[in-house]
Amino acid sequence: MSTLVSNEFELEPADSKRLSSLCGPFDDNIKQIERRLGVEITYRNNAFKVLGEPLQMNSACELLKLLYVETQPIKGRTPELEPEQVHLAIQESRVVEQNVEGGYGKEINIRTKRGVIKPRNPNQAQYVANILNYDITFGIGPAGTGKTYLAVAAAVDALERQEVRRILLTRPAVEAGEKLGFLPGDLSQKVDPYLRPLYDALFEMLGFEKVEKLMERNVIEVAPLAYMRGRTLNDAFIILDESQNTTVEQMKMFLTRIGFNSRAVITGDITQVDLPRGAKSGLRHAIEVLSNVDDISFNFFNAEDVVRHPVVARIVRAYEQYDAEQERIRKQKKDEALRAQQAHALAPKNTDSASSNADKGAHKQ
């Protein structure tokens, strides 16, 4: 039976507006922490009491103190804590829960409009460490696990440290299960919608004006995968996003573009392939072919690593369970068909020979 412990502490300095921001409307932020960490939180003014299992209780106390710091007034105005901020802070507290020590390696430390970019769970921490230590890194998993965002952050970090001279972001221009038909505009306007998530990440980290200037100087290039053929990319940080939608030939073409002093990150979700029926995903094929190659790392994310709204993790988990059940049913049917085939092959042939003799007698008559 688990032992429950409690801790009482005060948040200083006492400030009713900051406490209101911390707790959220109708104590929604407090309730989210209680639900996610499995603790009970009570408070009166700035005096808080947390009850729960030791590890979760300590995490909740540290989390409340951390979030209270986030409510410090900026230019005389107390910022409102958003549910997303609380959710991400809880994700970070789970890193503490799992005692990840030193797993972050050389942390990315880039200040953006949203603060410092850093890993929020053990898998992300290992992913970042691998990006920094391997020439080619694969990030494979469901949407919302930070695969592309952290890769872009690592690219910006490498550029600002002058470890590379340019950043190149690319993805295959494949329609997501829709037929869009003719798209108006010039070539850039036609492909930009496919590349929008990459632009968004860059704008958030560097700001619109700086990205525009770097793109004008070709220090940052965002292009569809088809533009990579025939090029050799030296002194570059290259990111291939949505790689599950590459063909085997495209993936091989991309991987052989990498030149000296270059790093590549390939991200994708093998459960969301939008290729035509019958075409094999280049990402699936790469996992099979390259899993034992030196200087290449594979990082697999799951529903627990999702850093978006909590319901996204539950959606991903439900799809994973459904796919696993369908695979079990397919395997069971295949085994039953194989057993039936074997039983038919071993069945006695007497009936066939008797009918054959009867046919011969009828033919003589």
Other C-beta atoms closer than 10 Å to the C-beta of 69 total 10
Does 201 lie in the same domain as 161? Answer: yes
Tokens of 45: 């003014």
Among residues 249, 291, 243, 289, the alpha carbon closest in space to that of 266 is found at 243
The Cα diameter of the chain in Å comes to: 113
Kindly report the CATH number assigned to the domain that includes residue 36.
3.30.1370.10
Contact indicator for 33, 87 with CB cutoff of 8 Å:
no
- Report if residue 18 sits inside a domain: yes
How far does Cα 277 stand from its chain's mean position? 25
- Residue with token string 């539950």: 314
Does 240 lie in the same domain as 124? Answer: yes
- Report if residue 331 sits inside a domain: no
Q: Amino acid letter at 267?
A: T
Kind and range of the H or E element at 48?
A: strand 47-52
Q: Residue 265 burial (CB < 10 Å; 0-12/13-18/19+)?
A: buried
In the chain (365 residues long), the average pLDDT of successive 10-residue segments reads: 83 92 90 85 93 88 91 88 81 52 50 69 85 90 86 88 87 56 53 74 87 91 81 88 90 88 90 83 92 87 71 69 82 86 73 53 52
Tokens of 328: 């079990």
Contact indicator for 249, 220 with CB cutoff of 8 Å:
no
**CA-CA distance, 128 to 142, in Å (whole number)?**
17
Q: What is the pLDDT of residue 21?
A: 92
Does 21 lie in the same domain as 121? Answer: no
From 301, 329, 350, give the residue that closes a domain.
301
Does 205 lie in the same domain as 237? Answer: yes
**CA-CA distance, 10 to 297, in Å (whole number)?**
45
Domain range enclosing 50: 5-96
Instruction: Dump the DSSP string for 276-315.
Output: PTTPPBHHHHHHHHHTT-TTEEEEE--GGG--S-HHHHHH
Name the 3-class secondary structure at 245: helix
Does 164 lie in the same domain as 292? Answer: yes
From 57, 78, 96, give the residue that closes a domain.
96
For the chain, how many structural domains are there in total? 2
Kind and range of the H or E element at 236?
A: strand 236-240
- Report if residue 361 sits inside a domain: no
Percentage helix, strand, coil for the chain under 3-state DSSP, each rounded to 5: 50, 15, 30
Does 131 lie in the same domain as 49? Answer: no
Does 171 lie in the same domain as 68? Answer: no
Pseudo-torsion of CA 144, 149, 150, 155, nearest 10°?
160
- Report if residue 64 sits inside a domain: yes
